[in-house]
């Protein structure tokens, strides 16, 4: 009888607590996880999930080959690494550069570090499109030499000035 009373007490305690504590947290959105493939990246960019990331204060003329006017966003992982002055950014670091014309997005350049080491640019997935039509991309690939070559002068392939301006 003593065992039955103890069991009942445990059940009662489990059932009478705060309902919120027993409810599992909602599924976490994965929209901030940056894909490392063309189809995934294109679809993800169209969600504008990056829009909540730290960004430059205003669009400005591009200093590279991307477009006439650009606005760069960096994810919190990359921002923390830049803030710390890290020589090599951690896996998951990412940035998105919007190409703008008359305030409208006309394309994107994006990259995400997919490996712990940069491997001469091979540890980064690169993506660029000048066409915002869903499913379209111009240049993409893991370790894309064209992208890595231009970005080689940056801090672990990141050319965006920091702090963001």
Q: 124 lies in a domain?
A: yes
Token digits of residue 38: 């063309």
Does the pLDDT value for residue 9 go beyond 80? no
**Which contiguous run of DSSP H or E holds residue 71?**
strand 69-74
Q: Assign residue 128 the CATH number of its domain.
A: 3.50.70.20
How many structural domains are present in the chain?
Answer: 1
Q: 7 lies in a domain?
A: no
In this prediction, residues 95-115 reach a mean pLDDT of: 96
* CA–CA dist 81, 146 (Å, integer): 24
Residue 9, phi then psi, degrees to nearest 5: -65, -40
Identify the pLDDT of residue 32: 59
Q: 73 lies in a domain?
A: yes
Does the pLDDT value for residue 27 go beyond 90? no
Mean of all residue pLDDT scores within the chain = 84
In this prediction, residues 38-52 reach a mean pLDDT of: 95
Q: Which residues pair with 74 in a beta bridge?
A: 95
* CA–CA dist 8, 23 (Å, integer): 22
Closest CA to 105 of 126, 131, 134: 131
Q: 165 lies in a domain?
A: no
Whether the predicted model's global pTM rises above the 0.85 cut: no
- pLDDT bucket at 63, cuts 50 / 70 / 90: confident
Q: 1 lies in a domain?
A: no
Q: 55 lies in a domain?
A: yes
- pLDDT bucket at 136, cuts 50 / 70 / 90: confident
Closest CA to 115 of 148, 84, 142: 142
Q: 163 lies in a domain?
A: no
Q: 23 lies in a domain?
A: no
Token digits of residue 64: 């590279």
Compute the Cα dihedral for 28, 108, 99, 90 and give only its sign: positive
Range of the domain at 100: 31-151
List all residues 6 or more positions away from 95 whose beta carbon is below 8 Å from its beta carbon: 72, 73, 74, 75, 78, 110, 111, 158, 160
Looking at the chain, the whole-number percentage of residues with pLDDT higher than 70 is: 81
3-state secondary structure of 50: helix
Does the pLDDT value for residue 144 go beyond 50? yes
């Amino acid at each position: 009888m003593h065992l039955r009373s103890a069991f009942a007490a445990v059940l009662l305690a489990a059932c009478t607590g705060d309902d919120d504590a027993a409810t599992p947290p909602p599924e976490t959105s994965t929209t901030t996880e940056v894909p490392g493939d063309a189809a995934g990246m294109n679809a993800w960019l169209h969600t504008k999930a990056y829009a909540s990331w730290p960004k430059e204060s205003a669009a400005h003329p591009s200093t590279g080959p991307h477009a006439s006017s650009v606005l760069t966003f960096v994810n919190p992982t990359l921002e923390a690494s830049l803030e710390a002055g890290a020589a090599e950014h951690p896996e998951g670091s990412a940035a998105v550069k919007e190409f703008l014309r008359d305030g409208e997005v006309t394309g994107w350049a994006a990259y995400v570090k997919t490996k712990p080491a940069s491997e001469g640019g091979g540890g980064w997935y690169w993506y660029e499109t000048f066409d915002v039509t869903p499913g379209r991309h111009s240049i993409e690939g893991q370790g894309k030499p064209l992208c890595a070559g231009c970005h080689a002068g940056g801090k672990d392939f990141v050319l965006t000035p920091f702090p963001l301006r």
